[in-house]
Amino acid sequence: MTSGQLEIQAIAVVTAAACALVGMFLVLRRTSLLSDAIGHSVLVGIVLAFFVTGTTTSPLLLVAAAATGVVTVALVDLVVRTRLVREDAAIGLVFPTLFSIGVILVSRYADGVHLDTDAVLLGELAFAPFDRLVIGDFDLGPTSLVVMSVVLVVVLLAVALIWKELALTTFDPALALALGFAPTLVNYVLMSLVSVTTVGAFNAVGSILVVALMIAPGATAYLLTDSMKMMAALSVAIGVGCAIGGYWLSYAVDASIAGCMAAMCGAAFAVVWALGPRRGLLTAARRRARQKLEFAETMLAIHLAHHEALPEAAVENRVANLNHHLGWSDQVVAQVVRSAENRGLVVQRDGMLALTETGRALAGEALVR
Amino acid sequence: MLFDDYTVRTVALGAAGLGIVSGALGTFAVLRRQALVGDAVSHAALPGIVLAYLVTGSKASLGLLLGAAITGFLAVLLVTAVIRTTRVKADAALGLWLASFFGVGLVLLTFVQRRPDASQAGLDRFLFGQAATVLREDVWTIAIVGAIALSVLALAWKQMKLLAFDPDFGTALGLRMRLADVLLTGLLVVATVIGLQMVGAVLMSAMLIAPTAAARQWSDRLGRVTLLAGLFGAVAGVVGAVASSRAERLPTGPTIVLAVAAIVLLSFLFAPTRGIAMRWLRARSRRGRLALNAVLESVGELEQQHGSGSRGHAAETIGALIAGDPRVALEQLARRGLVARTPDGLWTLTVRGREELDRR
């Protein structure tokens, strides 16, 4: 591994960790798409700051972009509060408008300078190590790495500091308000964190894929746990895993790093969605199949118990007749009988079924219930 | 004249067609709280477009549209499946698949760009649209595909209406609402992908949402809102296309979006009954009416207390009763002949004012 590769992965890891941590709250608060909106509207902030400072490297650009993110959220809030449209529509009105203004400003007044919208939207991680932060003679490392490390520390500190407030306002805003926790203030703190993270991250992954890094790890972790602390840990772990996995995938197929990281995020969610413990699709399907079989076994036990020791038992409790009496196909009968035998509920002798003690107990219990 | 220019005419026609289709179909997306589905579809179209190009090797717009529609539709299906089978909510499901599909598209795009015959302009065009390259064939594509989509909407109008407002009732009536849902999603996908070339992926969601957001303020009837949304979309399309052709370096897609945003702003402000300005005016006139009543009743009360012999009351006395300055209200009441001013500057009820109070 070259030092360049190491640095790229370090940037990816730090970015993914910061994104996953703030993104988790967006997932829980059902405002995931604000990250999409912020990611697009920061363009205006960057352009305006560029007009003021005349450079594309000033740290003021980051501040302005982050401020635009907060303004975007405030505008969405404002539109929602007119009660003329609902929140999803409000988001869909605000960010394309701001983004359009940004694009028009760029193409009218900033043509020719290095401020192409592609770079903002897509980022380019592969070039990140070339842009180094040098103070005096001392090379601090790639600028994005330094910036994102600072962002990560800020996010970690802020989240740790207002963890309780975040939890309360996320799950019960009304109670939070009643207890004097100012949900709006907490919301804006969170949105500032989202903005700062988005802006810091777009250098690395671009503003569209930042959505993947913010939402996918949180959504994946949400499928795995019920504890918020666990969810935070899992989100960060999944985000970091996707970042590193995505990097090596891009190395293997020689394609866009950011694209591979986003694809990894989608894949991680898909895997957990399908195979996850407890809530995975496959696990749920298996559970349903097992419950169905157990129910059928109980039915069989009840049927046998109902007829045993009576004259008709010779007909009713014969394996070959069960299909008719219980309305099951021969296949189902065979499967249920086999499974019931394995569980020790029934024994089979000369094509006749007899309940064991366990089987009789099960039938009695099921009927009482 | 403006429309003599072939390019401008073509672009304007295409934008108008797109505006009608996306405006009318967007109505249902917004009403069903799926406003941002268009955003997901437009981003998820990227891998489909690139795949179609990789498979066919041509940039014919119909093939690319088909590819875009397939992956766009797939993304919406995944979003719906996630919402139905997990506890992840719509917003996260949308964001998740939108960005993942886009990421896959970017990866595929790097493969295309490695081919010697590829031009690099593809992604830019996808993200921001490139209305200037719209050809007569593209306008025909928009017109034909759009006309089919709108006809389907018209034919399935009853189902769509139920889907928007009360799908359970539709199911109870024996209509196949799941089928209608899939159909509507398909129509939305179609409306989104035909707009990609014109306004691009990022801004396409605005073309679905904004016309409806504006039209909704003018009417409470679904049919009218749908028609108006189509009209607003078309107007914004033409205005945007023409404006961007008149000014230098004014990209078409963003200009169209700003045009439709302006329509939204005007509607929010000035629509009758729902508009902010109208609501404010109504609130003010209601406050004014209440103030007039309060002053009239105060005068009546004072006269009752002081008996019929009173010569009237000073504005200050009346003001003390209503805790405010009654002079403007008194003047207005005087103009309506409900109170009168005595020569020494005191206020009394007129006969009509007395009748008015008695009637209450």
pLDDT of res. A266: 95
DSSP string, B2-25: GGGSHHHHHHHHHHHHHHHHHHHH
φ/ψ region of B275 (left if φ > 0, alpha if ψ in -120 to 50, else beta) reads beta
pLDDT band at B122; cut points 50, 70, 90:
low
pLDDT of res. A57: 66
Strands (E), chain B: 339-341, 347-349
B86/A253 CB distance under 8 A: no
Using an 8 Å CB-CB cutoff, list chain B residues near A82: 268, 276
A84/B274 CB distance under 8 A: yes
Q: Is the pLDDT confidence value at A339 over 60?
A: yes
A219/B93 CB distance under 8 A: yes
pLDDT of res. B117: 61
Q: Could you count the other beta carbons within 10 Å of the beta carbon of residue B265? A: 15
Nearest CA in chain A to B275: A84
Q: How far apart are CA B134 and CA B132, in angstroms?
A: 5
Q: How far apart are CA A165 and CA A173, in angstroms?
A: 10
pLDDT of res. A368: 80
- Picking from B43, B216, B254, the nearest residue to A100 by CB comes out as B254
Nearest CA in chain B to A267: B100
A40/B268 CB distance under 8 A: no
Instruction: Say what percent of chain B tops pLDDT 90.
Output: 40
8 Å CB contact between A8 and A176: no
Q: Which residues contact A146 (CB under 8 A, 6 or more apart)?
A: A133, A140
Residue with tokens 């590819």: B67
B99/A209 CB distance under 8 A: yes
Q: Is the pLDDT confidence value at A190 over 90?
A: yes
Region B353-359: mean pLDDT is: 83
3-state secondary structure of A349: strand
- What does pLDDT average to over chain A? 87
Find the radius of gyration of the CA atoms of chain A: 30
pLDDT of res. A56: 65
Choice between B197 and A216, residue whose per-residue pLDDT is larger: A216
B99/A88 CB distance under 8 A: no
Which tokens belong to A326? Answer: 């219980």
- Picking from B86, B106, B249, the nearest residue to A223 by CB comes out as B86
Question: Rounded to the nearest 5°, which phi and psi values hold at B343?
Answer: -55, -30
B95/A279 CB distance under 8 A: no
Alpha helices in B119-156 (DSSP H): 122-128, 136-155
Of A9, A14, A17, A12, which Cα lies nearest the Cα of A218?
A17
- pLDDT 10s digits, B73-96: 999 999 999 999 999 999 999 999
pLDDT band at B212; cut points 50, 70, 90:
very high
Region B224-252: mean pLDDT is: 91
Q: How far apart are CA A251 and CA A213, in angstroms?
A: 19
Q: How far apart are CA B346 and CA B19, in angstroms?
A: 64
Report the length, in residues, of chain A. Answer: 369
Distance from CA of A156 to the nearest CA of B (A): 22
- Picking from B89, B124, B208, the nearest residue to A30 by CB comes out as B89
Residue with tokens 């509507």: B184
A279/B87 CB distance under 8 A: yes
Which tokens belong to B46? Answer: 């990227």
pLDDT of res. B309: 65
Q: Is the pLDDT confidence value at B125 over 80?
A: no
Instruction: Say what percent of chain A tops pLDDT 70.
Output: 95
Of B109, B139, B132, B133, which Cα lies nearest the Cα of B122?
B109
Using an 8 Å CB-CB cutoff, list chain A residues near B254: 99-101, 103-104
Nearest CA in chain A to B259: A97
Highest mean pLDDT among A84-98, A296-310, B163-177, B226-240: B226-240
Question: Rounded to the nearest 5°, which phi and psi values hold at A269?
Answer: -60, -45
Using an 8 Å CB-CB cutoff, list chain A residues near B85: 273, 281, 284
Region B191-213: mean pLDDT is: 88
pLDDT band at A288; cut points 50, 70, 90:
very high
Report residue B343 CA to chain centroid gap: 58
pLDDT of res. A121: 63
Mutate to test the interface with A, among B79, B82, B96 (most CBs of A within 10 A): B96
Q: Is the pLDDT confidence value at A224 over 90?
A: yes
- What does pLDDT average to over chain B? 87
pLDDT band at A111; cut points 50, 70, 90:
low
Nearest CA in chain A to B267: A84
- Under CATH, to which class is B2-271 assigned? mainly alpha
Using an 8 Å CB-CB cutoff, list chain A residues near B36: 33, 88, 91-92
Q: Is the pLDDT confidence value at A25 over 90?
A: yes
- pLDDT 10s digits, B11-21: 889 899 999 99
CB pairs below 8 Å between A and B: how many?
208
**Among A13-17, A116-120, A204-208, A310-314, which stretch is predicted with the lowest mean pLDDT?**
A116-120
Asked if the B277-359 domain carries CATH number 1.10.10.10, the reply is: yes
B261/A93 CB distance under 8 A: yes
Q: Domains of chain A (ranges plus CATH)?
A: 3-279 (1.10.3470.10), 282-368 (1.10.10.10)
8 Å CB contact between A306 and A342: no
Q: How far apart are CA A265 and CA A11, in angstroms?
A: 17
CA-to-CA dists, residue A14 to A163, A178, A229, angstroms = 20, 37, 19
**Which DSSP helix (H) or strand (E) runs through A134?**
strand A132-135
Region B7-32: mean pLDDT is: 90
Nearest CA in chain B to A107: B249
pLDDT of res. B17: 92
Distance from CA of B324 to the nearest CA of A (A): 30
- Picking from B98, B203, B274, the nearest residue to A100 by CB comes out as B203
8 Å CB contact between A204 and A12: yes
Alpha-carbon torsion B199, B203, B208, B211, what sign?
negative
pLDDT band at A112; cut points 50, 70, 90:
low
Which tokens belong to B299? Answer: 């005068």
- Picking from B109, B251, B257, the nearest residue to A97 by CB comes out as B257
Query: Domain coordinates of chain B in residue numbers?
Result: 2-271, 277-359
Question: Rounded to the nearest 5°, which phi and psi values hold at A97?
Answer: -65, -50
Report residue B236 CA to chain centroid gap: 12
Distance from CA of B196 to the nearest CA of A (A): 14
| Type of residue numbered A92 | G
Nearest CA in chain A to B30: A89
Using an 8 Å CB-CB cutoff, list chain A residues near B95: 32-33, 35-36, 211-212, 214-215
A100/B39 CB distance under 8 A: no
> Beta A138-142 vs A346-349: how paired, if at all?
unpaired
